[in-house]
Amino acid sequence: MSDFFRGRRLRRNAPMRELVREHDISARHLVMPYFVVETDDAGFRKPITSMPGIFQLSLAELEKDVAEAVALGMRSVILFGIPAAKDYKGSEAYNHDGIVQKAIRRLKERFPDLLVITDVCLCEYTSHGHCGLLRQGDTTGEVHNDPTLTLLAKAAVSHAEAGADIVAPSDMMDGRVLAIREALDANGFSHIPVMSYAVKYASAFYGPFREAAESTPQHGDRKTYQMDPANSREAMREAAADVAEGADFLIVKPAGPYMDIIRMVRDSFDLPVAAYQVSGEYSMIKAAAINDWIDGDKVAMESLTGLRRAGADIIISYLTVEMLRKKLVSA
Ligand code: PBG
């Protein structure tokens, strides 16, 4: 009889390994982000240079891509809008006929079973690119918290009115989950959940997204509202506050470099936890794969599986459709 552990016994062949596999991913866990552009050109489809395989799309092109993805088994999307015009108070974010509101209506009409999540933020809609209100003429980039809450709440209600299934505030203002919850309830949307970007770091991994969403701050940065990457206890305070304010889901963002935080949030709270594998994480995998430095498909699947192992119930990832198309995740 051997006196050492023979871990290899359970790895002898593929069916054995599958029998003992602890975590996997299927279509139901994944959410695909889309960028929809307000334009008269119905055929508009612009590649995002820093995110190979991802595009800015007109409404009509969005509908085409979503049709293909739904046929492959995609269940959920998160929408980001790029308006034709921006102003200092982000008016298009809460315009009843804004681009995201139109996209929601169009997708829900054509694909009633598709779960439509919307990103609730001002940064794609403000001329200065910040996630909240600045005083007019401001050059310091000091975002005013409480006046911003009213606008975020209006945006969330306009998304719910258009038919969104879930609203996801990503601005990191204090008190926004409560403001949005109250506004939804007051407008007859007590059944619409809030998926809060509870723990969102001031991350350089968002770089490619800002090209995609045309939302780079014109001056300053987001460090007065997004979290310091060096902090983990603070993540617990942020998540606890959002739970107390009525959040139904918690998002940790970015994902890969913050797996410890995903695990902590998973262990400390009973809400479903989503990990957002952000643009820079996607771009790094793609860049190395295009150079043949890594096996892109295998690294992609490993990155997603790692997030499930860390405790993510849900993964928001730009890899979603590609993984479905290649049948690497089951529909
Ligand atoms: C909007 C928002 C951002 C992302 C999601 N929602 C950008 C930011 O905060 O600068 C980033 C997503 C990504 O990088 O994929 N506030």
Ligand 1 atom nearest 278 alpha carbon: 15
Judge whether 286 counts as a catalytic residue.
Answer: no
Find out whether 246 and 196 touch, Cβ atoms under 8 Å.
no
Residue 229: pLDDT band by 50, 70, 90 thresholds? very high
Whether 121 is in the pocket of ligand 1, judged by its Cβ within 6 Å, is yes
The set of residues, in sequence order, having a beta carbon less than 8 Å from that of 4 and lying 6+ positions away, is: none
Instruction: Give, for ligand 1, the residue of 209, 285, 303, 317 to mutate: max count of ligand atoms closer than 8 Å to Cβ.
Output: 209
Is position 11 annotated in a ligand binding site?
no
Residue 240 scores a pLDDT above 90: yes
Residue 131: pLDDT band by 50, 70, 90 thresholds? very high
Residue 140 scores a pLDDT above 80: no
Tokens 């860390």 correspond to 310
Q: Using CA positions, which residue lies closest to atom 11 of ligand 1?
A: 206
Q: Which position among 89, 102, 154, 200 bears the catalytic label?
A: 200
CA of 206 to the centre of ligand 1 (A): 6
- Confidence (pTM): 0.97
Number of other CB atoms surrounding residue 278 within 10 Å: 25
Q: 57: which strand partners? A: 36, 45
Whether 278 is in the pocket of ligand 1, judged by its Cβ within 6 Å, is yes
Give the model confidence (pLDDT) of 23-82 as tens digits. Answer: 999 999 999 999 999 999 999 999 999 999 999 999 999 999 999 999 999 999 999 999
Where do the structural domains in the chain lie, given as residue ranges? Answer: 24-325
Determine which of 102-111, 135-144, 220-229, 277-286 has the lowest per-residue pLDDT on average.
135-144
The set of residues, in sequence order, having a beta carbon less than 8 Å from that of 311 and lying 6+ positions away, is: 262, 263, 265, 266, 267, 273
pLDDT for the residue numbered 135:
79
Task: Tell me the C-alpha distance between 104 and 314, whole Å.
Answer: 21
Rounded-to-5 percentages of helix, strand, coil across the chain: 45, 20, 40
Give the model confidence (pLDDT) of 90-100 as tens digits. Answer: 999 999 999 99
Find out whether 132 and 169 touch, Cβ atoms under 8 Å.
no
Ligand 1 atom nearest 208 alpha carbon: 14
Residue 230 scores a pLDDT above 70: yes
CA of 17 to the centre of ligand 1 (A): 37
Q: Using CA positions, which residue lies closest to atom 6 of ligand 1?
A: 170
For the residues of 190-254, what is the DSSP string, one character each?
TTS-BEEEEEEB--GGGHHHHHHHT---SSS-STTTSBPTT-SHHHHHHHHHHHHHT-SEEEEES
Q: Compute φ and ψ for 93, nearest 5 degrees.
A: -65, -30
Q: How far is CA 280 from CA 139, 159, 241, 285, in A?
A: 28, 27, 28, 9
> Around 206, how many Cα atoms within 13 Å sit in the side-chain half-sphere?
18
Long-range contacts of 286-290 (CB under 8 A, 24+ apart): 286/51, 286/52, 286/53, 290/52
Determine which of 27-36, 135-144, 217-226, 275-284 has the lowest per-residue pLDDT on average.
135-144
Q: How far is CA 106 from CA 42, 60, 167, 182, in A?
A: 14, 9, 17, 27
CATH class of the domain comprising 24-325:
alpha beta
Find out whether 250 and 269 touch, Cβ atoms under 8 Å.
yes
48: left (phi over 0), alpha (psi -120 to 50) or beta: beta
Find out whether 114 and 62 touch, Cβ atoms under 8 Å.
no
Burial (0-12, 13-18, 19+ Cβ within 10 Å), 123: buried
Give the angle 317-320-322 at the CA atoms, nearest 5°.
130
Whether 283 is in the pocket of ligand 1, judged by its Cβ within 6 Å, is no
pLDDT for the residue numbered 1:
63
Give the model confidence (pLDDT) of 185-211 as tens digits. Answer: 999 999 999 999 999 999 999 999 998
- The tokens describing 9, both together, are 């016994």
Whether 119 is in the pocket of ligand 1, judged by its Cβ within 6 Å, is yes
Whether 239 is in the pocket of ligand 1, judged by its Cβ within 6 Å, is no
The answer to whether the complex's ipTM is over 0.90 is yes
